[in-house]
Amino acid sequence: MPRRLALLLVALVAAACSGPKSGPLGAAPAFDLPAAGGGRISLASLQGKVVVLDFWATWCTPCLVEIPDYREFWHKNRERGVELVGVVVDSGEPEEIRAFLREEKVEWPQALGDDEISLAYGATDGLPTTFVIDQQGTIRRKMLGIGPEKMKTLQRTVDEALAAAAP
């Protein structure tokens, strides 16, 4: 019996550490959030585009490490029908967040997130949590944390989503 329990534990740990989730993960939950720069950002307004939705916080060191990578990703992909949207959570008042975004030169759209949107997306296991949503509104990938292959995986997933929708 102890051997079976040990094998089960090894299997559970391996499954938990298996990396980014890929393949269709279901429909992306609708959202309509205040934009840090004014106005609103909704999933409906992004219909027909590949959306990279990145949940992060201004106090999250791994999230901050990714800012230059996301800046490069955004410049490379924004003309290709790809929308990068940050969802800033647990980071203070809107004016504090806007000041941080200006200081860090975060140019891509940022939504002011809350517990409701985090729960709807299952972005509650840690930050950053990133989702790729295809043109039909299906979540194609969920990635938790950062790592040396994250941006390559993100780019590959976006490229696959764009190719799948090409005539």
14, part of any domain: no
Range of the domain at 98: 20-165
What average pLDDT does range 68-97 have in this prediction? 97
At 23, the pLDDT band (50, 70, 90 cuts) reads: low
Q: Is the pLDDT of residue 18 over 70?
A: no
pLDDT tens, residue by residue, 97-126: 999 999 999 999 999 999 999 999 999 999
At 136, the pLDDT band (50, 70, 90 cuts) reads: very high
- CATH number, domain with residue 149: 3.40.30.10
89, part of any domain: yes
pTM of the model: 0.85
* Nearest residue to 128 (alpha-carbon basis) of 88, 97, 98, 91: 88
Q: Which residue has the tokens 């997306």?
A: 121
127, part of any domain: yes
* Nearest residue to 130 (alpha-carbon basis) of 154, 96, 106, 108: 154
Number of structural domains in the chain = 1
